[in-house]
Amino acid sequence: MGLSGKLVWDEWNKKHIKKHQVTVAEVEEVYNSKVITKQSYLGRTIILGRAKNGRLLTIIVSTEKQKQPYTVSARDMSKKERRYYYEQTQTHKTI
């Protein structure tokens, strides 16, 4: 969906994703595999994908204030997001 480039990291977003027990490596894996992307508000993009360890994550990135995508947040997918992810990827696994 038009997102490209290396993710921008700083102390704030690293600390924020740590609150959700998500690592920078997991975010980078999902971002680089980008299974599903959806546009959100404020020029943000929601990325749904699976990390190499099997964890289903929702990544939110913004390109509003900079050219490179800035990681706003990362967390485990909600039940609704998992359902959408499975529908879009046509996999049938337990939610």
Rounded to 10 degrees, the C-alpha dihedral 38/44/49/52 comes to 160
Q: Tokens for 47?
A: 């990325």
Does residue 2 lie in a domain region?
no
C-alpha span between 89 and 58 (Å, rounded): 15
Residue 58 pairs in a beta bridge with 48, 75
Which tens digit of pLDDT belongs to each residue from 51-90?
999 999 999 999 877 778 999 999 999 999 999 999 998 7
Give residue 48's domain range.
Answer: 11-89
Which tens digit of pLDDT belongs to each residue from 1-26?
446 678 999 999 999 999 999 999 99
**pTM of the predicted model as reported, rounded to 2 decimal places:** 0.85
Does residue 1 lie in a domain region?
no
Amino acid letter for position 50: R
**Total domains, the chain:** 1
